[in-house]
Amino acid sequence: MTRRAIILSLFFLFFLLPVSVSANDVYEVDADVLMVREGPSSDSDIIGKLKHGDRVSVFNESYGWYQTYFGGEKGWVASQYLVGTTDSNSENVDTNEEINITKENVRIRSGPGTNYRMIGSASLGDTYPLVETSGNWVKVELFSGNSGWIASWLTSKQTGSSSAESKDTVSNQSSDQAKGDLQGKTIILDPGHGGIDPGAIGMGGVFEKDLTLQVADDIATALRNAGAHVLLTRSDDRYVSLQQRVHISNAYNTDLFLSLHFNAMNSSAINGTSVHYYGEDSRQLAYQMQNDVSDHAGLTNRGVMQDGYYVLRNNQHQALLLELGFITNPHDLLTIQTQDYQVGLAKGITQGLVEYLQ
């Protein structure tokens, strides 16, 4: 059957049969744009948008509205724009096959896509029985007996009889460390401030502009090692206007613009990292990025915030601004200046983007 025929028949089934929603039913969006709302009503506030072909995991129903997860939060969508996906794009496989995890800290999700909620994590070398595959995602049986989905590019497959061969694949892939996973992606790194603009001034006279350049350097190296095309808005201590920074992003086919900053406060007690976004299209990535930053930086997680910063507001591409710690807090400042923090942060951001930018 063609994909279109499958979708059409599911579409009719959907209307002819009484619809019963069980936990974690997966549906596909069958509209160009589908608003995600705070409540089950078209008067309710919009918290995001889904596009044609996006998949959602439904766990609740109310008067023709389905409740799902969007960017880590609960939201509602009108059910008439969703079609069931039962086996339409998935393939049941030989249950003898096992999935090997080839990266550290791999996310396990409730459905086959990065828009699904994270339900656990797997470590390098873990092995799980394969249940089924769907697109670039594999469904595995977890130790708890439940199942979860993992991005297939973070795994390798092995059958019971050829484990030696698969182990070779695992070691090759881990020594390459995500090489090629960001191939074809253009990422603009924007080290905040510079030249006559020192940015925040921290304890002991540390300048924000110097720290942003240091972390940008580590992040650029890690992203390039993963195959990304990385551009910096500045690579030395010079003044670059906000207009010029945005112009660089808009001049390229940018997949992500990442502005790097450190924070300051008149109270030395305030500490931690935060991720800022403006456009709705960057919201989901903001949540993912804050997880990656807080997992690897080891500083307090201050969360995700929507802000109209110039470099975000005027950007035509996905754009985030990271506040990577307070240089007016003694603990944050000491941590920020360590190699562990800078390399760990670069690794965390790169792993997150490998998963998100597919």
User: What residues have CB less than 8 Å from 315, skipping those under 6 apart?
Assistant: 246, 249, 250, 257, 278, 279
Q: What's the CA gap between 211 and 264, in Å, rounded?
A: 13
Report, in Å, the least distance between residue 297 CB and Zn ion.
16
Task: Give the pairing type, strands 273-277 and 301-306.
Answer: parallel
Rg (CA), the chain: 22
CB under 8 A, 24+ apart: contacts of 132-137? 132/90, 132/91, 132/92, 132/93, 133/90, 133/91, 133/93, 134/89, 134/90, 134/91, 135/89, 136/112, 136/358, 137/112, 137/113
Between 5 and 196, whose beta carbon lies closer to Zn ion? 196
Which range touches Zn ion (CB under 5 A), out of 130-138, 146-154, 186-194, 216-224?
Answer: 186-194
Please tell me which residue in 28, 98, 208, 323 is annotated as part of the active site: 323
> Looking only at residues 121 through 160 of this chain, which bind Zn ion when binding is defined by CB under 5 A?
none
Task: Tell which one of 111, 148, 199, 344 touches Zn ion (CB under 5 A).
Answer: 199
Q: Is 191 a binder of Zn ion (CB under 5 A)? A: no
Nearer to Zn ion, 234 or 261 (CB): 261
- Minimum distance from CB of 323 to Zn ion (Å)? 8
DSSP 227: T
Helix (H) or strand (E) holding 77: strand 73-78
Q: How many residues bind Zn ion (CB under 5 A)?
A: 3
323 catalytic, yes or no? Answer: yes
Please pick, from the candidates 40, 192, 202, 272, the single residue that binds Zn ion as defined by CB under 5 A.
192
Distance, C-alpha 257 to centroid of its chain = 14
Measured CA to CA, the distance from residue 205 to residue 170 in angstroms comes to 47
What's the CA gap between 264 and 279, in Å, rounded?
25
Phi, psi of 216 (to 5 degrees): -60, -40
Q: x/- contact string, 68-107, with Zn ion (CB under 5 A)?
A: ----------------------------------------
Angstrom distance (rounded) from CA 326 to CA 208: 10
Nearer Cβ to Zn ion (27/262): 262
Question: What does the alpha-carbon distance between residue 345 and residue 342 come to, in Å, rounded to a whole number?
Answer: 5
User: CB-wise, 56 or 322, nearer to Zn ion?
Assistant: 322
Only one of the segments 23-31, 144-152, 188-196, 331-339 lies at the binding site for Zn ion (rule: CB under 5 A); that segment is 188-196
Min separation Cβ 101 and Zn ion, Å: 37
Strands 186-191 and 256-263: parallel
Minimum distance of Zn ion from residue 262's CB (angstroms): 7
Least gap, CB of 260 to Zn ion (angstroms): 8
| Residue whose Cβ sits closest to Zn ion | 261
Pick 123 or 306: Cβ nearer Zn ion: 306
Taking CB under 5 A as the criterion, the residue among 107, 109, 245, 261 binding Zn ion is 261
Residue 192 vs 348, nearer CB to Zn ion? 192
Closest contact distance (angstroms) between CB of 263 and Zn ion is: 7
Stretch that binds Zn ion, among 123-131, 260-268, 269-277, 303-311 (CB under 5 A): 260-268
Q: Which residues are marked as active site? A: 323
Q: Applying CB under 5 A, which residues contact Zn ion?
A: 192, 199, 261
